[in-house]
Amino acid sequence: MAEPGSAPAAGRRVNVSFSPPTPNGDLHLGHLAGPVLASDVCARSQKILGNDVVYACSTDDNQTYVVTTAQRLGTTPEALIQEALDSVRVSLDLAGIDVDLFERPDEEYTAFVRDFFTHLWRHGAFDRREVELPYDAETGEYRPRPS
């Protein structure tokens, strides 16, 4: 770490992100005041220090809230995700949050996550347990448990 008042070392790569929002609506105040603002302060301070900052995030498309909210609103999960993505982008812009990339997970990311957890599974990182989950045989979908 550099001494206070000294010139920054040659810039290093710093990746900054915030917890991916569930794309079932726009951001709420808790998102903005919490992880989004904190990561924005981090990204800005790292840029001031002369570091090469990439500030990126994606939506978390695999939440049951996406399916249940889409059903409640009479739309498809895909349409809801796109609408939420667009709304969040507008909100980030209005809040002055300058994210380099805010997108949905792509195939490369999905493959990375699958490979990462497959590696953990093969090396005994998980316990196998049987659990009962609500399943709708007509639609072929798992349902969230009733509250």
Query: Bridge partners of 56?
Result: 101
Written as six digits, the tokens of 94 are 């209005």
What percent of the chain shows pLDDT beyond 90? 69
Mean pLDDT along residues 45-55: 97
d(CA 55, CA 18): 9
Q: Model's pTM, two decimal places?
A: 0.73
pLDDT of residue 9: 57
Residue 146 has pLDDT above 70, yes or no: no
Token code pair at residue 72 = 């409640």
> Where does 13-105 sit in CATH, by number?
3.40.50.620
pLDDT at 3: 55
* Residue-level pLDDT at 143: 74
Question: pLDDT averaged over the chain?
Answer: 89
Q: Are 11 and 52 in contact (CB under 8 A)?
A: yes
Residue 5 has pLDDT above 60, yes or no: no
Q: Is 1's pLDDT higher than 50?
A: no
- Give the number of C-alpha atoms closer than 13 A to the C-alpha of residue 54, restricted to the C-beta side: 7
Write down the residue that tokens 């798992």 correspond to.
Answer: 142
Q: For residue 30, what are its two tokens?
A: 């808790």
